[in-house]
């Protein structure tokens, strides 16, 4: 019977993503509960130093595949390489982050391995030796509890910013192994032509601890400056509702919602956002939600932990000034 918990880490331009530390920490917790070893897989180019870092988060073994062809993510290449390692190692659990890359990779990999897969989960547990996963459904209105039986590896992805990062005692030993995989370029159907990066230097929206979002109530792209000032002060990311993006006020990369990005920050500040179902689906797992809206009947207040019924252009600048004073 398969043994061990395997986690697929994620890097971009040789830098480990925050979700990697989250899912490795969660993998360590599940491995301890099962009494099994924790294996981490890392793909990329010039990544040996990054592989060593996982010992701080509980990995027993790290397998890294270092190849120029793996420097940037290509689904068919990553899928084939990881499938070879999984078939060799035979883990009982296979976990990865539900980032844009992770969701894409998980779908293809589950088909390649012919196993079931739970996507975008918010918690994991072990029930009689099997993985049990909790995930939002119906745009966050309910949660589905999923269990796996007679299928290995039991596979799932974790929503970013949900799992705790736990550093551990590093006095133990960690096994680091470099695997060499032959990549047949003739069988690869995808090619990266260009990478278009988001403009600006703010924290990544899906990894941010604080998100300040604006909706239709912002009234125009020029008015987002008040949110940007607050976000800069808090070290936060700036998001937007679909209405704001469709109006051309913000780029699509800023959209939070069912058809945009799913975020789970510690603090989500919704400014001038009514609370449409598709938007709620993208931020409902935030730890604390603050809503600022002059319409006291706005749906967002039903989801908010704290609500301010007022004009956001009165509240946000005042809040920014008060935080400045506090920080000084």
Helix (H, G, I), strand (E, B) or coil at 14: coil
Residue identified by tokens 């009514």 is 274
CB 83 within 8 A of CB 121: no
Segments making up each domain of the chain, as ranges: 5-187, 205-327
pLDDT of residue 232: 93
Helices (H), 91-241: 100-113, 225-234
User: Is the Cα dihedral 250, 254, 260, 265 positive or negative?
Assistant: negative
147-185: b or e for each residue (b if 16 or more CB lie within 10 Å)? ebeeebbbbbbbbbbbbeeeeeeeeeebebeebeeeeee
Q: Which parts of the chain sit beneath pLDDT 50?
A: none
pLDDT at residue 172 in the model: 63
User: In this predicted structure, what is the pLDDT of residue 282?
Assistant: 92
Select 5-187's CATH number: 3.40.50.620, 3.40.50.1110, 2.60.120.1030, 1.20.1050.10: 3.40.50.620
Instruction: Domain 205-327: give its CATH superfamily.
Output: TPP-binding domain (3.40.50.1220)
Domains 5-187 and 205-327 share a fold: yes
Residue 228 CA, distance from chain mean position: 23
CA distances from 6 to 160, 267, 294, 297, 326 (A): 18, 31, 49, 47, 45
User: What is the length of the chain?
Assistant: 328
Burial class (CB in 10 A: 0-12, 13-18, 19+), 325: exposed
């Amino acid at each position: 019977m398969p043994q061990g918990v395997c986690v697929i880490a994620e890097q971009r331009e040789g830098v480990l993503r925050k979700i990697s530390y989250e899912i490795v920490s969660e993998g360590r917790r599940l491995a301890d509960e099962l009494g099994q070893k924790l294996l981490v897989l890392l793909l990329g180019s010039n990544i040996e130093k990054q592989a060593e870092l996982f010992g701080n988060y509980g990995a027993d073994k790290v397998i890294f595949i270092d190849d120029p062809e793996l420097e940037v993510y290509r689904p068919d290449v990553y899928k084939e390489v990881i499938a070879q390692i999984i078939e060799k190692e035979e883990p009982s659990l296979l976990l990865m982050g539900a980032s844009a890359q992770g969701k894409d990779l998980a779908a293809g990999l589950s088909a390649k391995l012919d196993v079931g897969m739970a996507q975008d989960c918010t918690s994991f547990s072990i029930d009689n030796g099997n993985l049990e996963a909790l995930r939002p459904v119906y745009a966050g209105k309910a949660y589905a509890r999923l269990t796996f039986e007679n299928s290995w590896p039991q596979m799932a992805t974790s929503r970013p910013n949900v799992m705790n990062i736990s550093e551990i005692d590093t006095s133990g030993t960690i096994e680091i192994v470099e695997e060499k995989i032959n990549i047949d370029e003739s069988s690869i159907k995808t090619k990266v032509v260009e990478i278009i990066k988001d403009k600006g230097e703010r924290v990544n929206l899906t990894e941010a601890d604080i998100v300040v979002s604006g909706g239709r109530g912002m009234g125009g792209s020029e008015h987002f400056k008040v949110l940007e000032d607050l976000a800069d002060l808090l070290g936060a990311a700036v998001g937007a509702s679909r209405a704001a993006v469709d109006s051309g006020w913000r780029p699509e990369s800023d959209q939070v919602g069912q058809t945009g990005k799913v975020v789970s920050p510690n603090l989500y500040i919704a400014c001038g956002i009514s609370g449409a179902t598709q938007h709620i689906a993208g931020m409902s797992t935030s730890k604390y939600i603050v809503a600022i809206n002059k319409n006291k009947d706005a749906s967002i207040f039903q989801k908010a932990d704290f609500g301010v019924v007022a004009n956001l252009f009165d509240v946000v600048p005042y809040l920014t000034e008060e935080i400045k004073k506090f920080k000084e």
